[in-house]
Each structure stands twice: as structure tokens, then as C-alpha cells.
Structure 1
Amino acid sequence: MKTQVAIIGAGPSGLLLGQLLHHQGIDTVILERRTPEYVLGRIRAGVLEQGMVDLLREAKASERMDREGHVHEGVYLAYNNQMHRVDFKKYAKGQTVMVYGQTEVTQDLMDARKREGGVSIYEAEDVQLHDIYSDKPRVTFVKDGQKVELECDYIAGCDGFHGVSRQTAPKDKIKTFERVYPFGWLGILSETPPVY
């Protein structure tokens, strides 16, 4: 098998990358060690920042999100028996957040990939990355008892902190980039009248 980019992991990151590259005319194959049902069963966050919403639209995987998601333009904080509104649009240069579950995002990306003919191989066992710092990287895996070699130009490791991609890369070559927020949010959904 051959492709331009081998993507390891069919979670939201790998699927989104696959869609964005597809729309740039770049061929990809996504490898996932679990079943689609298992991937969809991992319940995660449910609020998307503006950047993610924009990327889903660019990836042509936003139709259901735009129809069913809830745009959230701000929050109220209760303090000293008073409600104080934090207006996201005002303080974030017009940006908002979208309340839409990660499971739904993953399903939408799976559907878009299938609709557009992208190749996703689920239940790929014993995935191994080879020659990752060469001009000819490759990935081997076992599917239905058969060993398969995937030749590629690039490998994109989208399989998380404990995945094979991070385990394969030498520790002195790993650079971590992260955005740390100076706060945390706890969201509770309740049909309770507001406190005034």
C-alpha cells in the first residue's frame, strides 16, 4: 500500500487532519487499532472553541453541528446574590463557543470521510512505525491476520500520549506544545430558574 500521509489514530484529531488534507488534494490512510464503535464510545468534552468550529466547517464536516449545536455567547457567574454576565463576543473579538459533543464531532468526521471516499482501517493490530526520520517512512500493521506495509511520505501521530507514535519517537526528539488555561470550567446542565 502507498499513501502520502499515514495518520495513526481515528479520533477527532486524526479524522480532522485526514479531512483537511483530503480537501488540499493530499492522499491519506488512517489507521486505528480499535473498532469505530469503540472510538465513538469514548465520551469526552462537549464545548468547541471558535477555532475548532471553523476547522470543522473547512473540513466540510459541520452540517449537523451547525444545525444541532448550541452557540454559546457568554456565561453568567453568580456572586453575592447577583448575576454577572461574561460576554464572550465582547471580550473575545466576536468569537463564541459551540456546545456540541466530541462524540458527535467524531461521528460527523467519520461520516464525511466515508462519504468522500477516504481510507480508514479499523482494528489495525501491531502498528509499528519504521524509518520515521528518513525520506521513506513506512508503517506496518496486521489486519485480519495479514501483515501489511504502508509506504508514505509522512507519518502523523494522532494516537494520543500513550500511542505508538509517541513511543516510537526518541525522547530527545519530542517537543511538546500545549496551551495551558489559567482557569477551569465546571459545567452543569439544570432546568433551574435563575437566581436573582
Structure 2
Amino acid sequence: MSAARQCLDAAMHHEQRWHRLNTRVVHMTPWFEVREDSVVRPDAVEDIYHHVVSPGSVTVVAVNDDDHVAVTRQWIYTHEERQWRLPAGSIDKVDRDPRAAAERELAEETGARAEQWEQLGRVNGADSFTNHVDHVFLATAVTMGLANREGAEADLVVHWLPFDEALNLVACGRIRHAGSVYGLLSTGLRRNTERR
């Protein structure tokens, strides 16, 4: 092994990082838990770190044969306003994986089913606060059926907008949901690349 490689390995071995000494759940709900960790920070000081542990969520860019994308509008309790966003929701215990959750959420909220699915990526929305990951999917070859919304989604309205119009909602700041922004932008960038 070269001397340079030995130095690199030694540096990586001694890199400063967080170390968890122990953890305890201080609050639990059906959707997430709050943990209090005893940690050693990168500066070698012992501290307490509070964070939210979540099973994650999914967001779906559902595009039909007319190049319209499903965009929902509903009251978002934590932001106290009606918001535009793509079909999205939590990964439930009944879901075998994120894609199954995406299929379920799309069908529940819009009534749509898709034959073709592709994972676009994953979004970390609030790294210092939670481990939450939003898995973002592109769904195509869409057929329509009946929605099956929960009571809390009684005010949800689905709009099938031309893709460019939905993308414009991101550009003008009317869609702020991280997974929705990521999904629409990544799909738009991909389309631009394919046109070249």
C-alpha cells in the first residue's frame, strides 16, 4: 500500500463525526416517534440530540397520455393553508416497499392506476430535524378509476394540468412541497435532455 493511501486511510479513520451513546423514545404516535439521543459531537463534546424518526413518504408524478399531470389542492394542517402538491402520503405498515405505498397513495387520492413506474430519487426534507425520506416516483401509462380518500382528505381536489403548467407552479413558488418540487423539476430536466 502506498504512503499516500495509508495517509488517506488514517485520515478517514480519524475523521470527526457524531457518535450516538444511547437513545430513548420520548414520544410515540402512529406516524412517527421523537427520540432523545445522548451523543458525542464532532468537537468531542457530549450533548443531547432530539430528532423525529419517520417511516418516510412517497410522492408521485403521474402523467397521463395527454401529457397532463395529477396535481392536488388541499388544506395542509401544519401550514394552515390550501396548497398545491402532487399525490403524496406516508409509507404505511401495510406497504411492502415505497413503490407499493406510491401505488396505493395515487389510487386513493386520484383514482388513477399506472402500468409503468420509475423511481426518480429520494428527498431529505429536514435533515437536522428528522431522518424522513420522501421517495419520488414517475408513473405513466395511467388509467382512471375511483378514488378512495380518507376522511382527512375530504377537501382534496385533483386537477390534471398540462405538464408545463404544473412545472410553472413550481417556478412561481406556488408548489413548495419538497417531493413535488423535486419530482416536477427532475422530470422537466429529463425531458429537456431527451429533446437535445
Q: TM-score range by the shorter chain?
A: under 0.3
TM-score of the aligned structures, taking structure 1 as reference length? 0.25
Q: Which has the higher contact order (CA 8 A, sep 6+)?
A: 1
TM-score of the aligned structures, taking structure 2 as reference length? 0.25
